[in-house]
Amino acid sequence: MNKLQAYLEHECRNKEINFEKLIDKLPYKKSRLYELLNELIQKNKAVKIAEGIYKLKETETIPIPHEIIKLSNKLKKAITRKFKFTALSVLFPFVHHTPYSITYTAYAEKGSGEDFKDAISRIEPKLTVLLNPKKSDIMLIINEAKENKILVIRENNYFYGKEHGIAYPDTAFVDLYFEVSRDKIPFMKSDLKEILKELMLKDLINYSRIMRYAHERKL
């Protein structure tokens, strides 16, 4: 650990680091400070979030919604076909502008959607489940039935990057980006950037995995 890292962990933990303010406080020339900060970035200890603004990375796990974990555990016992809870099912804790209605997403093997829908309805009878809906179908349920939680099941074969039926945070982000950019679910596009920034700050991105999966999804 270099002296700069020790200083930042003591003085700037969970805070944004302003380069100009930092240069006034530390006995480094600008070129040397840039060099040290870049070393921390290369070692995956810090991230540059804007011009002249840095932050130390935080390593932690995402608190997956309890109902999603419960569903995943019970579905593994009830159905042998592949499935993956993804998108906001995993990333909802990172949503900055809390929506009136939460649209969870699960991917299921082609041809198994009805089986999953029936099983989920038995496990969570109060949860509205839609199979391969359009965005307009989701909006109708939100506006007419005033439901604040909806689970969307999509039949496809995109199961890369998951464990125990739940997507990794980075592959969940790729799926969320796909759903939002293709206008398949109601969600603020501006929040995508904020979610990605949080994932980076919390060291929850595997870059080779996210690039491979984005390529697979043709993004």
Query: What is the architecture, at CATH level 2, of domain 3-56?
Result: Orthogonal Bundle (1.10)
This prediction's pTM:
0.73
pLDDT of residue 11: 80
Q: What is the pLDDT of residue 59?
A: 58
10 pLDDT band, cuts 50/70/90, is confident
CB 172 within 8 A of CB 86: yes
User: What pLDDT is recorded for position 99?
Assistant: 64
Break the chain into its structural domains and give their ranges: 3-56, 66-216
Q: What is the mean pLDDT of residues 56-62?
A: 69
pLDDT value at residue 132: 98
pLDDT tens, residue by residue, 180-196: 999 999 998 889 999 99
Kindly state the tokens that stand for 31.
């070129």
- At residue 13, what is the residue type? R
pLDDT-based confidence at residue 61 (cuts at 50, 70, 90)? low
Q: Which two three-digit tokens encode residue 12?
A: 């700037």
Contacts of residue 177, Cβ cutoff 8 Å, sequence gap at least 6: 192, 214, 219
SS3 percent helix, strand, coil of the chain, rounded to 5, is 50, 15, 35
* Residue 2 scores a pLDDT above 70: no
Question: Do 175 and 158 form a contact (C-beta atoms < 8 A)?
Answer: yes
Answer whether residue 1 shows pLDDT above 60.
no
